[in-house]
Amino acid sequence: MSGDLEFYYIFRDAMTDAGISFALTSGMACVEYGIQQNTKDTDWLIAPDSVELLREMLCRFERGLSGRNWRIGYRGLFGAPLDRDYLANGWTSHLAIWDTPDSVEHHLDFFVQPPRLSAGAALEGAAEAIAHRLVVAQMKKTNRDRDWPIAEALAYQELLSGNGEAVLHLRDPEALKDAWGLCSEDQRRILLARRPLLAQIANPSPKILRLLAAERGLWEEVNKLRYGRYQHEWKAFLKRWRAEDEFAWPVSVPFARQHELVVRAADVHRLARDPLGGLDGRVAIFEEAMNHITSIFALDPMEQKLVAPPISEMLP
């Protein structure tokens, strides 16, 4: 029997052998980086072109023709089908795998375009099948209090290794100054466009802590509104699907058949591929979040500009 920790090594090696481009991210990536997380789930970034390969690999393993004989299924709340069109629009797919008859149920989540990152950026800098520390940090800008110190710890690791880009995720004025000092002029221009508040780093105003708090508040609010769109879409889809006379889910059939069922359901019951609604939808989320933060922190127009990263950074 493999425990959750052994299993993610097994799964990593299997994906490597199958020629899949991927990287481990989120909680287990933090564990690998020496930041303790107790989650048993594993989260995987998959290159858009590798989604089909992954699905084929899973079907092969379930058929037991390759030496492995896994049981694989979508979880009850499966997110979206393991399909490039959905995953490239920010959905995730949630699977359960049993790799031996007495195995525990391993939970795996798959992303192509994770929150706050484009598909291309997500795999940038990944080495040894693990997402770059700053990619994980960007994913951790959620509205969970417990994620922010983790993002910052990852940024400290980069700072102490001489990577000035840590400045995107640090929140302590002194550490920000240190990281800023590591950046070239060219780098600074790029980083400033991604995080306008860096303009305050060399000579921080007495308001800097308030502005840092407002900036975090904006990320949190955008995340809350973002997931709200996915949640609303999924619940409405499930309601429509459940209204079918023959509705049955979850079902105990091979993974390939489960996949056909969820693809058909997503198609027939109109699970939107992009619940954020393109650029207009993203602008609407950003503006709603900005209005909320402006009223809480009483930001003036100049401060609003300082605390707001571009939409492309928050909702790519």
Partner 1 sequence: MKPMVPDREYPDFYYEKLAELLGEDRARWARLPYEERMKELAWYHANFNTPDDLSLWPAELDGGVDRP
Kindly list the residues in this chain that would bind partner 1 in the complex (CB under 8 A). Answer: 3-6, 9, 12, 24, 27, 31-36, 38-41, 75, 77, 79, 91-92, 94, 107, 109, 115, 127-130, 142-147, 149-150, 152-153, 156-157, 160-161, 223-224, 227-228, 230-231, 234
Closer by beta carbon to partner 1, 192 or else 236: 236
Least Cβ distance, residue 41 to partner 1 (angstroms)? 5
Burial group, residue 267, by CB count within 10 angstroms (0-12, 13-18, 19+): exposed
Cβ-based nearer residue to partner 1, 41 or 274? 41
Q: What is the CA radius of gyration of the chain?
A: 21
CA dist., res. 132 & res. 289, Å (int): 28
DSSP per residue, 163-217 = -GGGGGT---HHHHHHHHHTS-HHHHHHHHHH-GGGGGTSS--TTHHHHHHHHHH
Q: Give min distance, CB of 189 to partner 1, in A.
A: 28
In angstroms, what is the minimal distance from the CB of 114 to partner 1?
Answer: 9
Closer by beta carbon to partner 1, 143 or else 304? 143
- In angstroms, give the least distance from the CB of 100 to partner 1: 16
Closer Cβ to partner 1, 130 or 299, answer by number: 130
The answer to whether the bond into 275 is cis (omega within 30° of 0) is no
- 206/218 Cα distance (integer angstroms): 20
**% helix, strand, coil for the chain, step of 5:** 55, 10, 35
- Judged by beta carbon, residue 93 or residue 303, the one nearer partner 1 is 93
In the complex, least distance from residue 123 CB atom to partner 1, rounded to whole angstroms: 15
Instruction: Name the residue nearer to partner 1 (CB basis): 156 or 249.
Output: 156
Long-range contact set of residues 29-38: C-beta below 8 Å, sequence gap at least 24: 29/130, 29/131, 29/136, 30/136, 30/150, 30/154, 32/130, 33/130, 33/133, 33/136, 33/154, 33/157, 34/157, 35/150, 35/153, 35/154, 37/150
CB of 73 to partner 1, least distance (A): 15
Q: What's the min distance (Å) between Cβ of 224 and partner 1?
A: 6
Is the Cβ of residue 234 or residue 303 nearer to partner 1 in the bound state? Answer: 234
Q: Nearest distance from residue 231's CB to partner 1, in Å?
A: 5
Our measurement of the distance from residue 194's CA atom to the centroid of its chain's CA atoms, rounded to an integer in Å, reads 18
What six digits make up the tokens of 142? 């959620």
Sign of CA dihedral 301, 305, 308, 310: positive
Compare residues 53 and 96 and give the one whose CB is closer to partner 1. 96
Decide: 106 and 97 in contact? Cβ < 8 Å.
yes
- Burial category of 33 from C-beta neighbours within 10 Å (exposed 0-12, middle 13-18, buried 19 and up): middle
